[in-house]
Structure 1
Amino acid sequence: MDLNLSGFLRICIHFFFAALTAFCICTSGEAEPSKRFSSSIDAVIIMDASGSLRITDPEGVRYKAAESFVSRLREGDRVAVVEFAEAARIIVPLTEISQKSQREISGAIYRVGDDGEYTDFLSAMELARELLEKEGREDSQKMVVLISDGKMDPHPATASPEKRISELYAQEVPLYQQANILVYTVAFSDLADKDLLREIAEATGGEGIYSPTSDELMNSIREVFSSLRASLLHRKDNIEKKFYVDDGVSEAVFVLAREEDGDLVLITPGGEVISKYDIRDDVRWYRVPKFEIITVTDPEEGDWTVSGLPSPESFATVLTHLKVIAEWESGRITANVPVLLKASFFEGRKPVALPEFTEIVKYVYQIIPTDKVSTPVQEGELNDYGKDGDNVENDGIFSSEVVIKSPGSYKLLLMAKSPTFTKKVEKNFEVLPPVVHLSIKKNLAESRHSEGKPHHKRGPAFIVSLDPEAASLRKRELLFEVTERETGKVYEYEVPHVNPKAAQYSVSTSIIDEEGDFEVRAVVTGRTRLRKIVRLK
């Protein structure tokens, strides 16, 4: 039997690529739905293998660029790799992306040589186009990424540089245009014909990049494919859902439904396209099979567009004034008496009950004394599972029972942590001394020992003592709150015929007619002088 002298005791009684796609954008009923077009990609990476790379690319920038591109493709996309010097050859056929194939493709990329004598990227572009025209899927977006450090320099037996450039402009570029194949070029050396590469890309609807260093190259790749995403997303048959974000908002949280095989993107008021693959300091993105949560720090004022929702009826919202509110269920917090701590989200003054948050948000708290320098006296986690102190499952209110052992001044620090944001709240509060004390005596004498008379005893009893605050209550009632430890089931046993003027009571433990392992708490109810009904433990 464990004893607690404060009114409670225990007894025993027996980077970028998924958004290089075209999406169907939904609204909440404001726009008419239209057909979704393909989100798959068929791409060819063309890699320079000329000998000059030993000098111009000693750090292997071209390998990093190509590998970065491949790592951001998703299942359903396909990619091939072509290397070229004086001639071109396919080293990886058009291959569907999977975890296994990504590793194999990356390995092949790092085996691209650097011993070629010439640079003839026209031959590589011809080979890439023929491959996409022959094996590319009709409904896919086709594209070529050309990575080179040099100028057009074909084998003299083939043609002069001028002739190959003329053929490129007059013959090959028009064929790319007819086939709707986008070309993106990456030049990473001062020796490269940057103007030629840029003009090829722009003529097909792509973009040319020049980046002399590895870091600049990676940043430029993210930028250029953001441009590609924008060109795909702004087709006339798209459905768009827009949210206006006011000036001065410090954080916008987008909560969006999604399909398991689909991708969502955000388009800023300025037209920049953001996906979960983009690495940005101001955007944090969390994705699970049925929804995504995106947090944007210091968002730009204006209309933000969401693209890629499953249907016009799909859930989508943005929260711009999200905060967490914490409160104690009881206005009085008494030492050694459990009290329910509750927390929930609010958007301004309106409560937010989103099942999506229940799945990903973790509420943790600390209770720290403020009347002395101290570490937390208690730490824990709230839940919304309908157990361990929480009343209703998935109602958006997270809660847990808290017991603070000592009276004093305290501070509650509560944090709601999600993968994309953290909200904090602090509250100072007082813990009061208990006013109802419970103890137990094993045996009580019924009569004093006297001459020739035996000493009579009765069984164990609860001793309930009241502080003046509890003893001053009118129309006083006494009951025992009994919690079965194994099941958590709570029973109440009311004590009959309570003396309204007594400050101490003795009640036989036989009032509890169940067998088992219990927690027992004495509870006094009554009216104050102001006729307020209170319940003290």
Structure 2
Amino acid sequence: MLPVLSVQAQTPPELHVLIDVSGSMKQTDPTNLRRPALRLLGDLLPPSARIGIWFFGDRVTSVLSTQPASDLTKTRVHNTAGKIRSNEPFTDIPDALTAAAASWDTGTDRNMLLLSDGMVDISKDKAVNEQAQQRLLDKIIPRLQSAHIRVHTIALSKDADSKLLREIADRTGGIFVAADSAEALQRAFLKIFEAAAPRDGLPLKDNKFIVDKSVKELTILAFRDKADTPNSLKTPDGTLVTEQTSRSLPNWRWDASGGRDLITIDQPQPGEWQIIGAKDPDNRALIITDLKLNVTSIPTRVYPGEQINSTLQLTNHDVPVTQPDLTQVIKAVVQERRGDEVIQSIPLNDRGADPDIVGGDGKFDYQLNLIDPAGVYSLVATAESPTFQRTWRQNFAMAPQAPISFKSRTVTEPVSAAATGPAVANAPSGSTALETPAHVTPAHVDGHGQKPARVPAKNQPVRVLEITQDPTVVMPERSVVDGQWTCEASPTGSAVDSHGSAEGHVVPSPAGPRIEKVHWVLDKTTMTVPVPTPVNRNCQFSGTLTAELTTERSMRLQLLPVSVPALVSTAPKSEHPDAHQVHETARLPRKGPNWLLIGAVNIGLALVIIIGLLLWRRSTKITINQLLAEAKTA
């Protein structure tokens, strides 16, 4: 069963905002675009949220105590934004985080937003600054983790310590956004808002959206092509409303600044509305309504290969909608997006068909498999029926790599032949590549429970898999790997056999690939586990990691397959036509010189030489006698 992570969906968000007011902001943000960005954030927060604001430079100042995001609070946020300045000499990030983390309401989802254009700078002494930064990394971040506080960071300007701000976000489970200009602050704040406090909205198609009768409040965010090119709104009755004409309309509030228009309308007219302006992917139509789309939130920081079960469900006055005549006509889909690009799209249903688990329960179930490159992504859920439309969006960050890595190695160590075999390959937690724990029955024990005679130890090449966890992400002794080894049926080339000797022969193979199940409890940051024997087979490991993270959440990760090549001998191959026969001959036991055989050979050679000499002499005598006889005759 995969972990279902729904903390954020069940608890109201609480957001503590930390704004850098150091003197360097005069150059980074000369027109104080931090002000409209903060107003935007305050106006977008749902009523269930809480917000508090701190300014920091050489000191930390609480300028708005944490309170519910009511209409009165949003007015206070506007007033607080007007106080943003750039006049303090230093940038004390560690103290700012410490102060803002001191107090939280009970039962809220804890988030911080940290905006800075600099680095840890509390003194003219470089050594003092380095010590303060190290204290931040070693002391403050672990406290934030244990308090379940996610810190989302925005680096404003190229001079910001992006590496530090990214690490703060990474280690606390937040997202990091780089805003290369003050104008980009609006979109940066929007990304953070949609990560920390996602809320109901209406789907936009060509800047058009449909408002139903249940909508109590409508908030429209429309970005401009150019800062001086205003947007306007077309209402369902055909009226064209601009910022200027909206001032005479009851229940309308229009904030035009920072290259965007933010319009809030109480009791909006039902029907089709249209934004007359740029078709920007960051345009939004957010609503307050009793007919809500509840989606199981995902962590704001995930890892490549992570698998997450989630659910979409409609509620009316906080009561789940389960009537089949309504749920069966809803067209629901969930998408993973990066900007305009759709990474994956999953159609949903409540009929019990895949991916739904139980039909007719009002829940639209699905599973996310996240395997994307590093970056900020969006989970967008949409539900449409003949009478209403809803959408819900949450941003999350994909980490650059998984918090676990695998590396195959070959070691040569003395091993008794009686201690080798498949049982070693399934060694439990804490076992090294060459250990067979007492409670594991070795595979080489025969059917009668009798162990063969122990063979003296010798050096044997052994393949091992080295597993390394990131201790800043994964909690020690809280992670488990389940999977299997799959080793090929046929050996590879002239290979080292299961006892480690490179003798140039082919070890007979079984009928099919060898499969071994494994279960490893990773109780060390780095540990090794053995690869199955014999070592002349290519093997591949596949499995899943289930772990508890330092951010106090569980994770299930589909691991990428790990291939381990066979150990192939470098000795030259035999040219004998029957390699097996040559191998068997080479294995015969060696003895001392056979003197009897040597003597017999020597005697035989002597006899051959003597007989040859006698024959030569006889032949020579006959020839001379013939010559003398012929001479006398002549």
**Which TM-score bucket, shorter chain as reference?**
0.3 to 0.5
Q: Given the two structures, how large is their TM-score scaled by the length of structure 1?
A: 0.40
TM-score by length of 2: 0.34
